[in-house]
Structure 1
């Protein structure tokens, strides 16, 4: 589930505790979590609702000026299906964020990260890619995923999935547009460069 920046800021600030979506069937379930740059979002409940069941409070607590504005936005959705109210809250910081900020890596941690990249590359159906993607992000922070993928002659969605794998290791950080290496990722890249010098 995607969130606009202002919605994530509202959730983090406690002003927003629900969002509305147009879905043929729910795309999230109660109890599930989603990691975002603002922290881990916890889904409390998901319920199908009719337009008549959407209240003024729903609109205000989802970041809209009023019920009419919310219903107007929902009616402009290009998706087919019914309206769903998703109640949620900020569960805490994204554990990857703390990991990503740690650039003080021991020799053992650097070796373990190198092994993790080798394992990903060895299991890949194509040529090794991890170091190339890290280098590209390092050289072009903030460049759109589409543009990064094109530089590698790849499709955007599989490229983004690969970047998420690197993010899970704490090596990259998502920006509003594109990515950058995290402090942890920069430390690893400096280490990898030192091995070839």
Structure 2
């Protein structure tokens, strides 16, 4: 596997080795030792799988307590995946990384705890899969509005996105509850293993 740091070094693109022939292909999508050797040393506790149609935008979501790191990938179709740093003490606070993930390119993205996450669907439909480092806790879930002008995310959309009622009510970053100065996802990972 190749681990590629993005403009925000804590967000990592992972390119798995793909072994294919006329029968199809095989690839390893997670291997604890390899990921730990590359700085992603977390226990995953939950796997999720969603199916969405073209133009659907989900996000920008995060949990203010029980923060989740997410290892995301696409099994069918293509999405534009976004991670926004909302750690108030980070030098990248309010910055974002956007990556195209598809069944064709087989790339994955590591979105650590302390980030808001979202994606929009670019293909007719997309099967989106992700591993989480903590359990879903709806009482702690928060949402930042997808088109916050302070974030200025360059979503590659050719029409208005389809949003859930919850996402229509997302807060702007300046009003949102964010992670406090001193928040460390590395400390969170260590606490999870104790």
- The TM-score, its normalising length taken from structure 2, stands at 0.25
Higher helix fraction (1 or 2): 1
Q: Which has the larger radius of gyration?
A: 1
Greater share of strand: 2
